[in-house]
Amino acid sequence: MKTGEKTLEIMSKAIWYNDWLLGQISNYLRGDILEVGAGIGNFTSKLARYGKVTAIDYDQNYKNANFGDIEKGKYFFGSKSFDTVVCMNVLEHIKNDRSALKNMYSLLKVNGKLILLVPAFPLAYGQMDKGLGHFRRYTKDTAGKKIKEAGFITVENKYINWLGLIGWFVNARILKKEIIPEGQLKLFNRIAKVFLYFEKFINPPFGLSVLAIGEKK
């Protein structure tokens, strides 16, 4: 089994965390929703609570999604446009991320929203990133700059999941692990509810991910 597919399976068991992530973006979900890089579908059914979901992935081994290459601008649905584009933990896998973001912009209707989640802090880039095929990690500034260059107006741009960054750094940079330890993820899923509670009120100065929301005007 590929490292990426194994990681997706492990992450599917982090039920509370996945629901927490959904809560971070739910206010922006509406109408026709395009999920870019759906993988094994960890979020596809959750997104369907908020609108009609079209799920794409360039890897056709994932049977829950139809073909779509966001970097090259090739999709099974032709010229369809969407109210919301969701791209969660996908852009870092794409070599030409600027091209991908411009293609996402072109797929949105006027006033449509891009929901972008990417791994944060280049300093945390390590063995797990390499194993997953990540080209890069982002900062708020680099993520914000790239969505602006693609044509978006920035609605929100923040770090989330400060606790996860600590665990990622230890495993990837210090312990040189190539895949997320399943036992640690289960523990994180149990304790994160307490440790991430205050992110409802305060944006942390660092986090495992950057969450950026862009709007097409």
CATH for 138: 3.40.50.150
- As given in the structure block, the two tokens for residue 142 are 């680099």
Pairing assessment for the beta strands 82-88 and 108-119 based on DSSP bridges: parallel
**According to the model, what pLDDT value does residue 145 have?**
98
pLDDT for residue 6: 77
Q: Whole-prediction pTM value?
A: 0.94
Q: How many domains does the chain have?
A: 1
- Cβ–Cβ under 8 Å, residues 128 and 177: yes
Q: State pLDDT tens for residues 75-120.
A: 999 899 999 999 999 999 999 999 999 999 999 999 999 999 999 9
Q: Could you give the CA distance from residue 71 to residue 107 in angstroms, rounded to a whole number? A: 12
Res 9: pLDDT: 84
Q: Cα separations (Å) of 189 from 7, 17, 134, 158, 194?
A: 15, 6, 23, 21, 10
- Domain of residue 187: give its range: 3-215
Q: Considering Cα of 32, then 34, then 40, then 42, what sign does the dihedral take?
A: negative
Among 177, 195, 211, 203, residue whose Cα is nearest residue 16: 195
